[in-house]
Structure 1
Amino acid sequence: MLERAVLLLELFSPQHPRQTISELAAGSGLPIPTVFRICRELTRLGLLERGDDFRFQIGLRVWEIGTGAPRAHELRSVAMPFMEDLHDITRQNVQLVVRDHLEAVYLERLSSHDAVGLVGRMGGRLPLHASSGGLVLLAHADQDIYDAVLAAGPRAFTPHTITDEPTLRTLLAEIRRTGIVVARQYLNQGTLAIAAPIRRGPTVVAALSVVVPLDTDSTPLTTVLQTAGRAISRGLS
């Protein structure tokens, strides 16, 4: 029951924020009566909400529960002042990213209305190999995570996404050496993404990234981003 409920909740997205029982059944592969029973229970618990048109959407209680996650709450609290400073400087996208197995999860994003468009969203997930923050996290992950990423077959989001093993291995080694990654159109066309690690002691627990137009000079941003990453790391120690 719990696994099926999570499966249904995961079907909601910015592209499909409101769905009918039939749509949820088609997306999950579950029988309509089963979907109906689960949605009724999720609605009773406040995890789903049903509109007058009988379409369901994620309930506020999901957000309330999510904000209580210790890893996310502490990271966001410590990082937010530095993210706001970076946003004031760039007026673009500033992101806080953590790893969940083979995916980069976006805990927070600050954006301006005229910032460059992105594939990912706050609270969303992307493969580790494709985003700047994900690459930082992959560079500092265990070997079994790296092996699993390769076994899954890295997907190309743009013609510039790194998907071949030798180039990816070289890039990850460079990230570990320099403490920074500059990703040119790896995930979004026309963008430059820069990311630096955030540590708790010796362990990399998150990444801080900025995404700006492709023609932006990356040199001053790398210095500012690394300084912010180190400051957040001190706050987590």
Structure 2
Amino acid sequence: MKNKPAYAIESVDHALQLAQLLQQEGSLRVTDAAERLNVSRSTAHRLLAMLVYRDFAVQGDDRRYRPGETLRPTLISHGPISLLRQIGTPHLRELAARVHETANLQVRAGTEIRFIASVECDQVLRVGDRTGRVLPAHKASGGMALLAALDKDALRALYEDDPDHPDLDVLGKQFALIRKRGFAVNDQKTETGVVGISVVLAPHQNPLAAIALAVPSVRFNRVRLEELRSELELAAAALTRELAEHLPS
């Protein structure tokens, strides 16, 4: 389990969050940074200036900040990340409060899945905040759910340049089951002791993201799966309706 340190240094945490956002989204304005961190513009400006100083960021002529040389090259998530986070976070809070498990919002970037928002539950034993984490899409529940939405040709094209790609025939069978069930489960494939359950968000039939629950394996069983799946589907339906109102059809 990844838990927040008891004596977290807020300024360091803010700087690291900004580095994650730059890596995932490609560019930020000072105003964007201030809103994401809930800090003043002057504080956001100072944090970004330090990232520039240490080559984590560069500032262009348009005054937007972009990833610097220190951040490894990575695919950008092309979905409406800001909108997903803004609209999705209240739904994550409600879901986490109902089921008492940590709720996450995930998007796919190539063969990776990225956690763009996370709300921890109130239990002592819980899965920690996953915001900014990156995992192989074919192992994480949200990634599996989103990959299952691709047709066979698109899936093969996605992995064709990866010499270490997973067995696509095996994945194809798994994805067929996910499509039939309507949800995906990651039973400790990415982290021992953690089970993930996900449902796709597809406003206007366009799979944009996945909403997921992260559950300690000691609280997971077949009966609990049905309860969590039902609550996930309710949250996904409500969030999908709201997203559809803000996106072109």
TM-score class normalised by the smaller sequence: 0.5 to 0.7
**What's the secondary structure of 1:123's corresponding residue?**
coil
- Deviation sequence 1:111-156 (CA, Å, 0-9, x none): 24641368xx41232221010001111111354542133752567x
Q: 2:205 & 2:188 partners in 1: Cα distance? A: 30
1:234 paired with 2:241, answer: yes
The letter for the 1-side match of 2:84 is L
Q: TM-score, normalised by structure 1?
A: 0.64
The letter for the 2-side match of 1:122 is T
Q: Is the 8 A contact 1:93 1:116 kept in 2?
A: yes
**What's the secondary structure of 1:48's corresponding residue?**
helix
Q: 1:73 & 1:140 partners in 2: Cα distance? A: 23
Which protein has the larger Cα radius of gyration, Structure 1 or Structure 2? 1
Partner of 2:142: 133
Specify every segment of 5 or more residues in structure 2 that has no aligned partner in the other structure, as ranges.
Answer: 1-12, 17-45, 67-77, 245-249
**What's the secondary structure of 2:83's corresponding residue?**
helix
Residues 122-131 or 198-207, more deviating: 122-131
1:75 paired with 2:78, answer: no
Please report how far the alpha carbon of residue 189 of structure 1 lies from its aligned counterpart in structure 2 after TM superposition: 1.0
The letter for the 2-side match of 1:82 is H
Q: 1:44 & 1:90 partners in 2: Cα distance? A: 36
Partner of 1:158: none
* Percent of matched pairs sharing the same residue: 25
Residues 179-188 or 145-154, more deviating: 145-154
How do 1:25-174 residues align onto structure 2 when only pairs under 5 Å count? 46=49, 48=51, 50=53, 56=54, 58=56, 71-112=80-121, 114-116=125-127, 121-147=130-156, 148-149=158-159, 152=162, 163-174=166-177
Q: 2:225 & 2:164 partners in 1: Cα distance? A: 26
Q: 2:96 & 2:82 partners in 1: Cα distance? A: 20
Specify every segment of 5 or more residues in structure 1 that has no aligned partner in the other structure, as ranges.
Answer: 1-13, 18-42, 51-55, 156-162
RMSD: 3.4
Number of aligned positions between the proteins: 180
Please report how far the alpha carbon of residue 44 of structure 1 lies from its aligned counterpart in structure 2 after TM superposition: 11
The letter for the 2-side match of 1:218 is L
